[in-house]
Structures are given as structure tokens and as C-alpha cells.
Amino acid sequence: MIINIISMGLISLGLFFFLVGTIGVIRFPDALTRAHGAAKCDTLGAVLSLMGLMLQSGFSAVTLKLVLVIIFLWTANPTATHVIAKAIDTSRHQEEA
């Protein structure tokens, strides 16, 4: 019972951060702030949702797979956002020259 409540809370928090990130992408003025807001909220939302799923699955092979997905997301999302931001910055400097 307690695990279900905690799991539901984590998944709800994850969905909340996904929603906040989506609103940020719509409302922020330029591409760099949109990328920043989306990356932070996307990473946190995914990790919280996956942690809720880990609680639901119990200790099994599925939990280990979800931990691996979390590790991958923690490395891939910020790296991809950095590459996108670097490309935006480079294109802005090329337009100014």
C-alpha cells in the first residue's frame, strides 16, 4: 500500500515536470532557453517516472534495466542539449560575421 502511494507520487511528479517543460518550450523566447528548460525538466521528469516504475516492479531484472535507462538518460540528455546549444551558438556567430 505504501509503495503504491510513493510510486504514484513519483510518477505524478515526473508528469508534472514533463508538463512544466512543455510549457517552458512554448513560452520561452529563444531557442537556447527553450533547450535549457526542456532538458532539465525532461531529465528530471523521466528519472522520477522511472523511479516510480522501479518501486512498482519490485527488486527484479526489470529494476536493473530501469536503473540502466536512468544512467543513460542522465548522460545522454544533457549531452544532446549541449550539442544543440553549441550548434545554435555557432550558427548565431556565423550570422553576425
The number of distinct structural domains making up the chain is 1
Mean of pLDDT values over 11-21: 95
| Domain ranges, residue 33 | 2-96
pLDDT above 70 (res 25): yes
Backbone φ and ψ for 28, nearest 5 degrees, come out as -70, 150
- How far is it, in rounded angstroms, from Cα 37 to Cα 51? 21
- For residue 82, name the pLDDT band (cuts at 50, 70, 90): very high
Amino acid, single-letter form, for residue 94: Q
- Give percent of the chain with pLDDT exceeding 90: 65
pLDDT above 90 (res 11): yes
Q: By the 8 A CB rule, do 66 and 57 touch? A: yes
- Helix (H/G/I), strand (E/B), else coil: 60: coil
